[in-house]
Structure 1
Amino acid sequence: MQLILWAAIVVISVALDQISKYIVVLKLKPVGTADFINGILGFSYVENTGAAFGMMKGFRWVFIVLSTVAIIAIGIYLVKCRKKVPPLLGISLAMIVGGGIGNQIDRIANGFVVDFLEFQFMDFAVFNIADCFVTVGAFLVLIDILFVNRNLFSDGRDSGEGKDKKSAGNPADKAS
C-alpha cells in the first residue's frame, strides 16, 4: 500500500510540475513576467541551465547523471525497504523523486529547466514546482530524522539492546 501512495506522490508531483511549465511556456514566455500577488509573488520566465535556484550554470550533464543516480537510488531504497521506511520519510523521498524527475524531463528534453516562480519581497532565485517538491521533501526528511524517527540510523548500541532488561535500568547493578 505504501508503494502505491509513494508512486501517486511521484506521479502527481511530476504532473503538477510539467503542466505548470507547459502553461508557463505557452502564456508567460511571450510576455516574460507577470504579477500574481503584487509585491509578494510573481511569475518570471527563466531558462535555467544550472541546478535548483539557478546554482552552477552550465553543468547540464553532471546534473543529469547525479539526478539519475539519486532518483534510482531513492527508488531502489523505497522498493527494497518499503516495510521498514517510516511513513513521513517515504512521503518525503517520493516528493524528492517526483521533483527530481520533473526537472530531469526539462534538462533532457530542452537542455534547461523552466523556472517561473519569483518572490518579489526578497532577493531570491526564480524557481519552479519541482524545486518546491525537492525542497519541501528534503526539509521533511530532516524533520523526520531529527525529531520523528531520531533512532532511524542508530545501530542499537546505546539503546539498551542486548542487556538484561532487569539490570539495564537498575543503578545498584551499575555500582557492582
Structure 2
Amino acid sequence: MSQILLIMASVRPSRVADQLADWIHARNTLGLSIETVDLRDWPLPMDDEPHQPKQEGFDGYRSEHTRNWSRKVDSAAGFIFLLPQYNWGYPAALKNALDHLYSEWQGKPVVITSYGAGGGGKAADQIAQVCQGLHLEPVPTRPALPLKAAERTDAGRLVDPAAAFAAQAADMQAALGELAAALHSA
C-alpha cells in the first residue's frame, strides 16, 4: 500500500496539530496508509546545505539531517499538509522543510488542510502556490478547520475536535478520496 505522510507544520509548544492529525486519521475510512510526521522531530537548520536542493544531475546532500529528510519524503507516494494560518501565512517550519528538497516532492499528490480562526484559507492559498513551484499536485478539495468555533480547555486544547469540525468532516473525506484516486491513477 502506498505510504502517505501527514506533515504537521506547527512546531509551537502550545498547539492543537496533534489533535487535528488524530481527527484526520479518524476520517480515513478508505484504509489509506497514513503516517504522521511532526516537524518538531525533524530539525532542519535554515539553508545549511552548500548547494541548492537536488535537481537533474545533483544528488549530493552533505548534511545527515537533509539526507534523512530526503529519504523520508522520497519514500512517500503522497502527502497531507496540516498547517495553521499565522498572520495570513503558513509556518516557516513547513516552508523550510519544503525548501530543503526539490525532486523528492515532484509529481506527488497532496491534500492541503488548513486551520485557524477563519479556517486558514489564506495560508492554504499560499502553500498551493509553493506546491505548484515544487510540482506537487494538490487535490481540489482543501479542508479548512475554523478554530474559533472549537471549544477549548483552560490549557488551550480542543475539547472535542469531532464535534467542533463535524461540518468539515465531509470535506476531509472528499479530499482523502481525491488523494486515493490520484494515487491509484499514478
Looking at both structures, which has the greater relative contact order when contacts are Cα pairs under 8 Å and sequence separation is at least 6? Answer: 1
Q: Same fold (TM over 0.5)?
A: no
TM-score range, shorter chain: under 0.3
Q: Which has the larger radius of gyration?
A: 1
Q: TM-score, normalised by structure 1?
A: 0.25
Structure with more of its chain in helix, by fraction: 1
Q: TM-score, normalised by structure 2?
A: 0.25
